Amino acid sequence: MNYEITNRGIEIKIGSCFDLKNTFDCGQCFRWNEDEDGSFSGIVKDKSVRIYRDNDKIIIENSSEDDFKNLWENYLDLNACYDDIRNEIISLDSRLKCAVDSIDGIRILNQDPWEALCSFIISQNNNIPRIKIIVSRLCEHFGDEIQGGYTFPSADKIAKLSVDDLAPLRSGFRAKYIIDAAKKVSSGEVNLEKMRTAPIDECRKELMTIKGVGPKVAECTLLYGLHRLEAFPIDVWMKKALSTLFNGISPENLGRYAGIAQQYIFHYSRLNPELVDTSKIQ
């Protein structure tokens, strides 16, 4: 990876295919916010940074070489070639070309699995602005204070709390689900780390033993929290897109990058709502 440390921070030379807005605002993560100048501010683990684009470079402010190697290189998935991935997806099913071409530079971030699980539990029957507000309240109330904000609280920390303790989050019926998830992860009854390599069907099953975790949250946790790129979250828009825009295309036919294909399909279907035939949806 081509990078250097300057007085601006870490400067990473990007060949192509990395769009900050498409990556941070696509609904895969909830702790990045766009600033007025188009840069993004966010917190990952115990690092709060601002990140922005300058021509062919991505600049991560206030970060050391160690931060890059220990955190950002992996988090931003900088060693994956998304141009190759796009080509492979199209080669599997050429109908997907329009979807793949509809959005540039999305990357699947390497988020912490517990943070992803917890965030997507909060996401159910909810909208992105409010998901972000609830996640930020969770961090402010129960995370550790760091320079520039708060960390995401650990499962161990949340497991010691009660549903009433989560009242300040104003997360509604989801509070009891967050507590159940924290208890199961903290006790080891649900082993997230094992899910990096375990057979994906076993992972789905194990995740869904958590109250409030259904197929959608399980797939999102696997895709965004465990970087299982073959995971395939299906929501109402995906159902529409699969059945109408792509004439019944099946996730099973999308191979090892199905989850990334899903991002393109989702974006394309949202971009072209008039093409979606709702009569074909139950």
Partner DNA sequence: GCCCAGGTATAAA
Partner DNA sequence: TTTATACATGGG
Q: Which residues are at the interface with DNA (CB under 7 A)?
A: 26-28, 123-130, 170-173, 208, 210-218, 233-238, 262-263, 266, 282
Residue 278's Cβ-side half-sphere holds a number of Cα atoms within 13 Å equal to: 6
CB-CB contact of 239 with 248 (8 Å): no
Q: Which is nearer to DNA, 247 or 278 (CB)?
A: 278
Q: Which is nearer to DNA, 247 or 282 (CB)?
A: 282
Q: Which is nearer to DNA, 113 or 212 (CB)?
A: 212
Q: Which is nearer to DNA, 45 or 239 (CB)?
A: 239
Instruction: Pick the closest to residue 81 from 140, 15, 135 (CA basis).
Output: 15
Q: Which two tokens stand for residue 258?
A: 């199905």
Q: Which is nearer to DNA, 49 or 238 (CB)?
A: 238
CB-CB contact of 118 with 183 (8 Å): no
**Least distance from DNA to the Cβ atom of residue 238, Å:** 5
**Least distance from DNA to the Cβ atom of residue 161, Å:** 16
Give exposure, 40-54, as e/b (b: 16+ Cβ within 10 Å).
bbbbbeebbbbbbbe
**Least distance from DNA to the Cβ atom of residue 133, Å:** 7
Q: Which is nearer to DNA, 49 or 218 (CB)?
A: 218
**Least distance from DNA to the Cβ atom of residue 120, Å:** 8
Q: Which two tokens stand for residue 84?
A: 């190759």
Instruction: Pick the closest to residue 204 from 194, 214, 193, 189 (CA basis).
Output: 214
- Going by C-beta distance under 8 Å and a sequence separation of 6 or more, which residues neighbour residue 193? 113
**Least distance from DNA to the Cβ atom of residue 152, Å:** 19
**Least distance from DNA to the Cβ atom of residue 27, Å:** 3
Q: Which is nearer to DNA, 22 or 154 (CB)?
A: 22
Specify the 3-state DSSP secondary structure of 219.
helix
Instruction: Pick the closest to residue 184 from 221, 229, 150 (CA basis).
Output: 221
Cβ-based burial of 197 (10 A; exposed 0-12, middle 13-18, buried ≥19): exposed
**Least distance from DNA to the Cβ atom of residue 97, Å:** 19
